[in-house]
Amino acid sequence: MQKRILLVEDEKTLAKALKFSLEKEGFRVDVAYDGEEALQVFSRNEPDLIILDLMLPKIDGFEVCREIRRKSDLPVIMLTARDEDIDKILGLELGADDYMTKPFNTRELLARIRAILRRTGQGAAAGKKKITLGDLEIDLIKQKVVIKGREVSLTSKQYALLSFLASNPGRVYSREQLLEEVWGYDYESDLRTVDVHIRHLREKIEERPADPRYILTVWGAGYKFREV
Ligand code: CA
């Protein structure tokens, strides 16, 4: 699954260069140029990681980080121009995962991003470690799916699809959106790919695949994971 990064940086030239490098590495990047925009994009797009500049117009990086931490444990890498901010950044109050002091090496930043995303594990970036619904249990750290105490073996795409839908319960996704989010295709592709994966997934996790409890079909719209 393509990871989504929210880049918050008011220096347009730096933001542009970073976006370019991150996209080249296969990340999906949203850019916000001030703190207010950052919080808006954060709640709209549910990123996997945030790169957050400290000195920002409107709402500064400290306040943005505090606001984000109120809602989520998702990884935050702070960009700072001053060494003396580091204690505060990494301290309990803000709890950023890492920081880079400007000017920094983009390659170094990429290495840190990868390390953090590896640590948080796929799908677990939003701060959740486990999703449980009825007899179904998804361990987002170990990437294991258990039904009635028995582990179910899924292919990596089946797992990616299930954990994506289950991480966003009740939200309806069209097949196009699922292709984009789970497969990373943002072009017209064979939508039956999604249907076939959903079918196989249901055969594995649903007691009665024809009358599913977990992954529901929304006619004319797409699929959604049942809300608790
Ligand atoms: Ca700045």
Decide: residue 48, CB within 10 A, 0-12 exposed, 13-18 middle, 19+ buried. Answer: buried
For residue 50, report the distance from its CA to the centre of ligand 1, in Å: 15
- pTM value is 0.56
Contacts of 61 by beta carbon, 8 Å cutoff, 6+ apart = 8, 35, 52, 53, 54, 55, 78, 79, 80
Q: Who surrounds ion ligand 1 at CB < 5 A? A: 10, 53, 55
Contacts of 67 by beta carbon, 8 Å cutoff, 6+ apart = 39, 59
Residue range 39-56: mean pLDDT, rounded: 94
For residue 57, report the distance from its CA to the centre of ligand 1, in Å: 8
Quick one: pLDDT at residue 121? Answer: 57
**Which of the 8 DSSP states describes residue 173?**
B
Q: What's the token pair of residue 137?
A: 């249990």
For residue 66, report the distance from its CA to the centre of ligand 1, in Å: 17
For residue 225, report the distance from its CA to the centre of ligand 1, in Å: 40
For residue 59, report the distance from its CA to the centre of ligand 1, in Å: 11
Secondary element (H or E) of residue 124: none
Neighbouring CB atoms inside 10 A of 131's CB total 21
Contacts of 110 by beta carbon, 8 Å cutoff, 6+ apart = 21, 22, 25
pLDDT per position as a tens digit, 200-227: 999 999 999 999 999 999 999 999 999 8
> Across 5-14, 70-79, 192-201, which has the greatest mean pLDDT?
5-14
| Domains of the chain, first to last | 4-121 (3.40.50.2300), 130-225 (1.10.10.10)
Going from the C-alpha of 223 to that of each of 137, 158, 178, 194, 199, the distances in angstroms are 19, 14, 9, 10, 12
Phi, psi of 209 (to 5 degrees): -55, -30
Quick one: pLDDT at residue 96? Answer: 82
pLDDT per position as a tens digit, 110-148: 988 987 787 665 444 456 788 999 999 999 888 899 999
For residue 40, report the distance from its CA to the centre of ligand 1, in Å: 18
